[in-house]
Homo-oligomer: A and B are copies of this chain.
């Protein structure tokens, strides 16, 4: 590693500290850190780098061609050596046009694409940031990583710790993580601590243990996570010929997606890879069960625009949470709320609430089009529909929907839809089945 190329800067008091070697990812003033880099990219380098990124799309043995995150290493973590990278081939490769039935349901005749971030080793978008955070830990010789989780983060942490030969401690809200997600921890041998409380309780514990220097946190308070998730923006811009879409639609839980997509947009604009004046809105959606950012945004918005200071004043964590099938985003005290506020304001974006019935319907609509989307993807899609209806997105706009996980992680939700007719044959005779299906 070249530690002089990457450092942390507090987003509140603007002091800096080294990236490599700390477990304290919350500043003494209480602010979250951003990672900053000396990119060393001059305007004259841009055309050459675009060619480099293009060439890396053809898979080879180099980690920068085996991973669509590390394919953008110059933007993501220029201070790491390739040999220090812990990769499981993460990144999105194949963007999907949304099916006609999905486009129709959303309305507005959008040019709608889906980013299937669940097609990773652990089945969720968390791998894209996890590979960066674990690689930084690995480069510095960390032996134990830890996280709080509603399921996806812990699976990622367990897999990448296994790949790196590290130990992993996961702190989970008892009874609120699916069996499929717990099975992943067993597969990769993480140590599981069940806590009789909510995700927010678990997050508080990990933050405090990290502040005391006891564990290296792999949640998105670790700003290296955000760097990896930016690859979603880089890959989309490359796909569009180094242009930004009109909007990204994302589910909003702890805030890492919104934070990283916003930072990714600004990074491309700042480095001159896309038009500096281009507008790319973030449409972030919470569920009714936990929507403190949406309700506070709503209170101070005028025609979709809010003042960041006013919004931060209106924001209060939500301690009493409702029930939702979108359990992975059921978070009342989003750890990255300040970054969410910054990026929504910078992107002229919006934060909306999807009613439970809307997000269930959206998830069904995705499944009926053949797409495997988790309930959080449905949450983002339901919010996008509302954004069209409320005029935040113009008809015909180009929008990329972030699908954060495969539906395989949420079997009970799909089963509860009861989308299938289930019949039992009386025997193993072909005639018995023929009779059932009426042929």
Contact = CB atoms under 8 A, between A and B. Distances in A.
Nearest to A241: B60
Contact of A430 (B58, B188, B205): B205
Contact of A94 (B66, B208, B427): B66
B94 A91 contact: yes
A219 interface: no
A197 interface: yes
Contacts of A413: 183
A58 B412 CA distance: 37
A9 B392 CA distance: 57
**A59, A94, A372, most chain B CB atoms within 10 A:** A94
Given A58-B58, A163-B99, A434 B367 contact: no
Most buried by B among A58, A194, A410: A58
Given A89-B116, A406-B123, A193 B411 contact: no
Contact of A422 (B60, B194, B428, B437): B194
Interface string A210-230: 001011000000000000000
A119 B61 CA distance: 19
A189 interface: yes
A187 interface: yes
A185 interface: yes
B116 A195 contact: no
Interface in A177-219: 179-180, 182-197, 201, 204-205, 208-209, 212, 214-215
Given A57-B57, A58-B54, A437-B169, A371 B121 contact: yes
Contact of A367 (B61, B162, B419, B429): B162
Contacts of A417: 186-187
Contacts of A192: 420-423
A83 interface: no
Nearest to A416: B186
Contact of A434 (B91, B187, B214): B214
B182 A415 contact: yes
Contact of A184 (B164, B193, B414): B414
Nearest to A202: B428
A22 B154 CA distance: 49
Interface string A136-166: 0000000000000000000000011111100
A28 interface: no
Contact of A88 (B96, B159, B163): B96
Interface in A385-439: 406-415, 417-430, 433-434, 436-437, 439
Contacts of A120: 119
A99 B219 CA distance: 25
Contacts of A423: 191-194
Given A208-B430, A408-B409, A437-B169, A370 B418 contact: no
A428 B121 contact: no
A215 B239 CA distance: 40
A189 B70 CA distance: 37
Nearest 7 pairs of A and B residues by beta carbon: A163-B370, A183-B411, A89-B94, A93-B93, A187-B367, A197-B428, A187-B414
Interface of A: 54, 57-61, 66-68, 88-89, 91, 93-97, 99, 116, 119-123, 159-164, 169, 171, 174, 179-180, 182-197, 201, 204-205, 208-209, 212, 214-215, 239, 367-372, 406-415, 417-430, 433-434, 436-437, 439
20 contacts: A57-B58, A57-B59, A61-B97, A93-B93, A159-B370, A162-B368, A169-B437, A180-B408, A180-B411, A182-B415, A183-B411, A184-B407, A186-B414, A187-B414, A189-B367, A189-B420, A194-B422, A195-B433, A196-B428, A215-B437
